[in-house]
């Protein structure tokens, strides 16, 4: 893992954007896995600006989300709504190039099987954009005694249920769909974005390089192509 430190999110986003843009230039059919939340937002804003400058850059880019809340009464607060606003519309990702979850699926086992099949036929992911959860989670891979390799439905911790994305929503989802640890670690390149003073404990565990299921992000040390970008506040 290559760890780089920045004094602010603007510089971190600039560095992360250069990685994505370089790969999109080299590989027009880039498969990009996208996290939601506050950490990757400055990166997505830079990609949106680049898409305005060069309308052809992302015209074949494909996108698969990292995770999705289950049980939201409306699309408000969903990862899909977030990605539609910050990635899909600005980068002009057409419906046939977006492999999203169906949080209203009647059978989540079948839904996860569908996502797994997409990854098998469209993957592997070229670049996986991740944020570091306050408790060390990646996507909805929460700290636990065991971690799941592939797409699965996860019971969310009370900590995750306080996420800023759903802070203003009275109904708090208790479950989420997420790519599994093997899905993430099969990516050709991983970009981990870390910002926020409240993540100090999670950062310390990550930097220790001690791998533990109680801090899923530490499993990124098993991957040989990880760029970890940290805003040191």
Looking at 74-123, list the stretches that DSSP marks H as alpha helix, in order from N- to C-terminal side. Answer: 79-83, 108-122
Give the per-residue pLDDT at 198: 86
Residue 19 pLDDT greater than 60, yes or no: yes
135 is an active site residue:
yes
Confidence class for position 217, pLDDT limits 50, 70, 90: very high
Give the per-residue pLDDT at 174: 76
Q: What is the pTM of this model?
A: 0.93
80 is an active site residue:
no
Residue 139 pLDDT greater than 90, yes or no: yes
Between 172 and 142, residue with greater pLDDT: 142
Give the per-residue pLDDT at 49: 98
Distances (CA, A) of 26 to 9, 61, 66: 26, 11, 23
Annotated catalytic residue: which of 80, 86, 126, 135? 135
Annotated catalytic residue: which of 142, 152, 163, 183? 142
- Decide if 57 contacts 21 (C-beta within 8 A): yes
Annotated catalytic residue: which of 86, 137, 148, 152? 137
142 is an active site residue:
yes
Give the per-residue pLDDT at 113: 96
Mean of pLDDT values over 130-139:
94
Domain residue spans of the chain: 2-231
Residue 140 pLDDT greater than 60, yes or no: yes
Distances (CA, A) of 152 to 70, 112, 141, 193: 12, 6, 9, 23
Confidence class for position 165, pLDDT limits 50, 70, 90: low
Residue 166 pLDDT greater than 60, yes or no: no
Mean of pLDDT values over 173-182:
90
Q: How far apart, in whole angstroms, are the C-alpha atoms of residue 111 and residue 116? A: 9
| Closest C-alpha to 58, from 82, 95, 87 | 87
Confidence class for position 16, pLDDT limits 50, 70, 90: very high
Residue 194 pLDDT greater than 80, yes or no: yes
Q: What is the CA radius of gyration of the chain?
A: 16
Q: Which CATH architecture has domain 2-231?
A: 3-Layer(aba) Sandwich (3.40)
Instruction: State the CB neighbour count (10 A cutoff) for residue 44.
Output: 24
Give the per-residue pLDDT at 161: 56
Q: What is the pLDDT of residues 56-114, one digit of tens each?
A: 999 999 999 999 988 775 677 789 999 999 999 999 999 999 999 998 888 999 999 99
């Amino acid at each position: 893992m290559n760890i780089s430190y920045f004094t602010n999110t603007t510089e971190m986003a600039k560095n992360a954007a250069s990685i994505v843009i370089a790969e999109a230039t080299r590989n027009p059919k880039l498969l990009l896995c996208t996290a939601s939340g506050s950490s990757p937002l400055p990166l997505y804003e830079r990609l949106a600006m680049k898409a305005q400058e060069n309308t052809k850059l992302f015209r074949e880019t494909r996108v698969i989300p990292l995770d999705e809340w289950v049980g939201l009464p409306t699309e408000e607060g969903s990862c899909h709504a977030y990605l539609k606003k910050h990635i899909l519309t600005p980068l002009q990702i057409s419906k046939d190039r977006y492999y999203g979850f169906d949080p209203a699926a009647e059978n989540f086992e079948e839904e996860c099987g569908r996502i797994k099949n997409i990854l098998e036929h469209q993957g592997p992911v070229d670049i996986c954009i991740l944020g570091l959860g306050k408790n060390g989670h990646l996507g909805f891979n929460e700290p636990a005694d065991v971690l799941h390799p592939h797409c699965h439905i996860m019971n969310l911790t009370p900590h995750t249920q306080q996420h800023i994305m759903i802070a203003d929503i009275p109904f708090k989802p208790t479950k989420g769909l997420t790519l599994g640890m093997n899905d993430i670690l099969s990516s050709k390149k991983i970009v981990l974005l870390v910002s926020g003073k409240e993540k100090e404990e999670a950062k310390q565990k990550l930097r220790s390089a001690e791998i533990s299921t109680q801090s899923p992000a530490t499993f990124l040390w098993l991957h040989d192509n990880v760029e970890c970008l940290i805003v040191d506040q």
